[in-house]
Every structure is written in C-alpha cells, then in structure tokens.
C-alpha cells in the first residue's frame, strides 16, 4: 500500500486490525458462554469441551499450513476475507445447536475460517511494513483484536442483563461478524510488486521457495511444545464457575481480561522491535506458566480475577513478538508458508492438549489439569531461553521498501 496510516504504519495494518476487532466482537460475545451452553444446556462434559475446542484448533492447524502455501502463489485478499466470513456462519450454527455435536461442527467451521485467513493475513501484514516496524504492526493488530474481544463479552453481558436469551445473543453476535469480511472485500488491496512486498511474497512464475531455515524449524518445535500447555481458555472460565462466579458475570470477567490484553498488545509488539524477540517471547511464555500455576491453586473469586489480569500479560508480551519472529526467520519468498507452518505446528498440538486437559480435569481435578499446562509452558520457555539462535532482532532478509 502506498498510503500510510497513523504513526507511520500503513493503512493495511489498520484495516486488518479493524477486521480483527469486528470479528472478535462477534466471537467473544459467544465464547465465554460456550461452556455454559455445552455443559448445562446441551449436557456435554468437560472431556467433550476439550474435544470440541481441541478438535477445532487441530483442523485449523492443517488448513493453516495449506493456506500459507497458497498465499505465496496467488492473491491473499480473498483468502483473508473468506476466512473471516466462514466464522460468522459458524456462529449462527452455534445459535441453532440442539446437541453437543452441532456445536462441534460449528466450531470446526469457525476454525476452518481461522485456518484459511491466519497465514495469508500475517504474511500480507508483514509484507506491507518496513522491517523495523514488523513487531509494532503485529502489536497493533493484536491490540485491536483484543479490543474487539473486550467489547464482545460486554455486549453479551448487556444483552443478557436486558433479558435477551442465550440463543438470541448468539444470533446477534453472528450477524455482527459479517461486518469484517464486508469491510475487507471493500477496502483490502494486495501490496504492489516491488512496493512493500519485500522478499517475502513470490507470485506465479517465481522459482520454488527455499526450505525452512533451521532456526525457524527449532522455533516451530518449541511453539508446538508450548501449545501442549496452551489449552482452550474455556477451562479457565470453567474454573471461574467453580470458585463461584455466576454465569451472567462471566462475560464481564472476560471483558476485563481482554481490556488488559488490548492495553499491552501494541507495547509488547513494539518492545520486540527493540529487544531480542526470542527473549520477549520467552518472557511471555513464563508469564503464561505462572498464571496457569496460579489458576491451579486459586480458590476465591478475587484470586481468579487477579489471575485473569496477570494472564493477559502473556498475550501482550508474546502475540506480536511471536509473529514478528516468524517473519524474521522466514526464507525469502516464503512468508506465507512460514506462517502456515507456525500456526500448523502450534495447532497440531491443540487436539491432544484439549483432550489431555479435559481428561485430567475429570480424572484428577482442575489443579492437576491446569498445573500440567503450566509445566509444558515453563519447559518451552526454558528451552527458548537456551536457544541463542532465536534471540534475534532483525529480519532475515532485507526490509521491504517504503512505499
């Protein structure tokens, strides 16, 4: 894009951020109420909750690998817009669900959309900015994503307080979700060749991309290890119910969590433009491990509320930095493929992580289940700290030319 938005970031970054905001208003109006729908309205158990969320993320993982490869060979705009459209349809399916397997099918469609859009979106965003602004651009996108995620549960809480039913709330959220693909189809454009695309995005006729570099492969392994402990946040909401939070207040708890994530996302991404990205990511993974260890022993509403705030630091420190590190380590002409493998490696662990956490919850209790998640995250953080090749601050290739 030739036109730049506020603070020197291109308009593409703001447009993708706004699409993420609208999508998450829709998504997060539903998510904090999903455990209630599954376990009480539809009579599913905690194992089923883990299977639903883990299975959905595992499907997304496989799709992300393919979508990332496709996006290096053709236009990304339709992949990104379509990837935001499918989840809106899926949320309508959740609103209409009459059995637990209906929710599973809808969540699979939701994650299919996420799988289609994630790699192409992140490759398009990293191509659109100068190399020394990649962390800041991803931080902006994640902050706007979390702002939408904060507004969503607040909207849900307001609707429920006004007497709107659970299913009607889901229908309203699904309708709002259609605004994101409409916005992208209207305004999103591909970067011009040679003007912002840098070395990250070959098109038809280009030679085959180089193999994934060894440092990127090491990072993918560690991301998968961390993902074994990064089970669905629905378990944390279930923990909140156990300590006495009424169902009507869960969206408000989720709102506060995402508000902190909104405030920390952009600074966290910018921090990774100044410090070694691997160290910033390791710090975020450590915060995750400490938060889950706290959730495993928390016994009061206040403790859980404070832990939700602290847990948000993990997202603020890592989400922009993780993606910027992938952009740094990607081979020339292979950013879409690199992001696809990154999301695929993390997502491949989602199903076993969800099943393991759900089984441990029912067999050994929430303390063991959440403590096991903390152990996986702590191990991944320690290994990342012990891998100097991943403590880098500059992109692997030349930065994109400023439009």
Amino acid 74: pLDDT: 63
**Res 243: pLDDT:** 92
User: What span, in angstroms and rounded, lies between the C-alpha atoms of 18 and 139?
Assistant: 13
Tokens of 257: 């969590």
pLDDT confidence of residue 156: 85
pTM here is 0.68
Q: Please state, in angstroms and rounded to a whole number, the distance separating the CA atoms of residues 320 and 350.
A: 20
Per-residue model confidence (pLDDT) at position 398: 40
**Residue numbers of the chain with a pLDDT score lower than 50:** 1-6, 193-205, 393-403
Helix (H, G, I), strand (E, B) or coil at 131: helix
Q: Give the model confidence (pLDDT) of 312-358 as tens digits.
A: 888 877 888 888 888 888 887 778 888 888 888 887 787 788 889 88
Please name each of the domains of the chain with its CATH number: 8-197+211-390 (1.20.1250.20)
User: Is 51 in contact with 354 (CB distance < 8 Å)?
Assistant: yes
pLDDT number for residue 203: 47
Specify whether the CB–CB gap between 107 and 53 falls below 8 A. Answer: yes
Confidence (pLDDT) at 196:
44
Contact between 362 and 46 under an 8 Å Cβ cutoff? The reply is yes
- What CA–CA distance (Å, rounded) separates 335 from 400? 13
3-state DSSP percent of the chain in helix, strand and coil, to 5: 75, 0, 20
| pLDDT of amino acid 224 | 92
With H, G, I as helix, E, B as strand and everything else as coil, classify residue 198: coil
Give the residue from 229, 230, 233, 315 showing the smallest Cα distance to 280.
315
Count, residues in the chain: 403
> Which distant-in-sequence residues (6+ apart) come within 8 Å of 227 by Cβ?
345, 346, 347, 348, 349, 350, 353
Residue 7 to residue 267: CA distance in whole angstroms:
14
Give pLDDT, residue 303: 95
């Amino acid at each position: 894009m030739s036109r730049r938005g506020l603070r020197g970031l291109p308009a593409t970054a703001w447009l993708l951020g706004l699409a993420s905001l609208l999508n998450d208003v829709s998504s997060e109006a539903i998510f904090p109420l999903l455990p209630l729908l599954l376990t009480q309205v539809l009579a599913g158990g905690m194992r089923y909750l883990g299977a639903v969320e883990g299975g959905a993320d595992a499907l997304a993982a496989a799709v992300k690998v393919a979508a990332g490869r496709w996006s290096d060979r053709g236009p990304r705009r339709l992949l990104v817009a379509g990837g935001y459209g499918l989840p809106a349809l899926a949320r309508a399916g959740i609103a209409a669900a009459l059995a637990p397997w209906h929710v599973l099918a809808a969540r699979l469609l939701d994650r299919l959309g996420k799988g289609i859009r994630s790699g192409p979106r992140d490759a398009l965003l990293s191509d659109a900015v100068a190399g020394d602004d990649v962390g800041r651009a991803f931080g902006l996108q994640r902050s706007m994503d979390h702002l939408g995620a904060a507004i969503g549960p607040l909207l849900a809480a307001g609707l429920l307080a006004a007497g709107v039913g659970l299913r009607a709330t889901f229908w309203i959220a699904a309708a709002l979700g259609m605004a994101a693909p409409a916005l992208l189809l209207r305004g999103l454009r591909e970067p011009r060749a040679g003007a912002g695309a840098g070395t990250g995005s070959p098109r038809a006729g280009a030679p085959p991309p180089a193999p994934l570099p060894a440092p990127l492969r090491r990072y993918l392994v560690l991301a998968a290890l961390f993902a074994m402990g990064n089970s669905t946040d629905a378990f944390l909401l279930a923990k909140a119910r156990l300590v006495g939070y009424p169902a009507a207040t869960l969206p408000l708890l989720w709102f506060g969590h995402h508000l902190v994530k909104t405030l920390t996302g952009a600074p966290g991404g910018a921090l990774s433009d100044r410090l070694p990205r691997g160290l910033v990511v390791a710090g975020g993974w450590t915060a995750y491990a400490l938060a889950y260890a706290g959730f495993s022993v928390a016994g009061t509403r206040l403790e859980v509320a404070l832990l939700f705030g602290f847990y948000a630091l993990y997202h603020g420190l890592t989400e922009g930095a993780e993606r910027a590190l992938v952009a740094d380590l990607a081979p020339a002409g292979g950013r879409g493929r690199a992001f696809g493998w990154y999301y695929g490696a993390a997502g491949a662990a989602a199903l076993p992580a969800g099943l393991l956490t759900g089984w441990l919850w029912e067999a050994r209790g929430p303390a063991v289940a959440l403590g096991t998640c903390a152990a996986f995250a702590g191990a991944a953080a320690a290994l990342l700290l012990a891998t100097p090749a991943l403590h880098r601050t500059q992109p692997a290739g030349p930065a994109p030319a400023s439009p």
